[in-house]
Amino acid sequence: MVVVWSEARCPVSHRASACLCLGIAPPKSISAYLPIVPKQPLTSIPSVNSIVTRLACVLTASWLLALVQPSLAAEGAAPSTSENSLGMKFVAVPGTKVLFCIWPTRAQDFEAFTKAKNIDRKWADPALGPTHPVVNVSWKDAKAFCAWLTEHERKASKIPEGSYYRLPTDEEWSVAVGIADKEQGPTLSDKMWSVKLYPWGEDKRPPRNFGNYLAEWMVDDFEKTSPVGSFKPNAFGLYDMSGNVSQWCEGLLDPKADERRLIRGCSWNRSGYPYSWSSYRAHGDLDHWSDDRGFRVVLAKEPLPDKP
């Protein structure tokens, strides 16, 4: 079993205790929360079984389930890579068979790709900074990045052969924003209009510092994009699933719409009804790019169905 820590669901002190109960060595980041245990390998501690037994008695089922549940979604599905060689971090999202990057692809991530491929183009505004999401990228650019990153990580032995990076599917995105079980209808357009929910609640405008939205709303301090991770993540530990940049996804919004590809999420430049709904969908041409659109990647093991 692969244990995937969820910051939002399981407090760090609980995670430290859980390490003892599960009989595993705790990560360095939480070792400070184990004052009753000497700083030596867990297996060498005398009476560790009695410590585990006592702690197990006081652990509640609710947070222990919250600790283990994410790992069950990842087990046997996608490789549990917490961080790759570019510093991109990934978490399991229950209900999917992939690991989601916790934030949109950053300018510095995409720059590694352009340098490796000797690509010279104005793919980002350098004034915005390396940790802002990359913008001015087309769907083809996003897919090319995924192909390069897959090859790069395999050569570095960061991911096994057969695992690969790609864009999230529409269904995976809906799961990751918590609405997959609410959407109804045979088409993606039907699904969009069946769930008229904002990620922050029923109000048409978000509360202050919920995310990066229209400047005239005055709910954040950014004129355009913001560094990834500037606001609180959602329940699955994912940042900017609403606001900052809209994001390219796999597939088509309308199978009859030629080659225009699916886009999910809203951006700093396009918010409000219906753009800020968690169910909002749009599409764009394969080569189209704009300064409010980026992408995020997922790490997958199973191939996509044989669809565009």
CA 249, 162, 180: angle at the middle one, nearest 5? 35
Q: Which pLDDT does position 74 carry in this prediction? A: 37
Hey, where are the domains in the chain? 12-74, 90-300
User: Mean pLDDT of all residues in the chain?
Assistant: 77
What average pLDDT does range 272-277 have in this prediction?
86
Greater confidence (90 vs 189) lies with: 90
- pTM (predicted TM-score): 0.73
Q: Which pLDDT does position 118 carry in this prediction? A: 92
Tell me the three state secondary structure of residue 109. helix
Q: Which pLDDT does position 285 carry in this prediction? A: 93
- Percent share of the chain, pLDDT over 90: 52
Closest of 50, 49, 12, 44 to residue 31, by C-alpha: 12
CA dihedral 215, 220, 222, 226 (to 10 degrees): -120
Tell me the three state secondary structure of residue 259. coil
Give residue 13's pLDDT band: very low, low, confident or very high (50, 70, 90).
very low
Question: What would you report as the CA-atom Rg of the chain, rounded to the nearest whole angstrom?
Answer: 21
pLDDT at 177 over 90: yes
Which region among 185-189, 219-223, 292-296 has the lowest average model confidence (pLDDT)? Answer: 185-189
Q: Which pLDDT does position 304 carry in this prediction? A: 85
- Superfamily (CATH H level) for 90-300: paralog of FGE (formylglycine-generating enzyme) (3.90.1580.10)
Tokens 């769907």, located at residue: 139
What average pLDDT does range 256-267 have in this prediction?
88
For the stretch 216-234, pLDDT in tens is: 888 999 999 999 999 999 9
| Cβ neighbours around 86 below 10 Å, total | 18
pLDDT at 26 over 60: no
Cα→Cα distances 197→17, 179, 180, 191, 274, Å? 37, 9, 12, 12, 9
Residue 26, Ramachandran bin (φ over 0: left; ψ between -120 and 50: alpha; else beta): beta
- DSSP H/E element including 246: strand 246-252
pLDDT at 300 over 90: yes
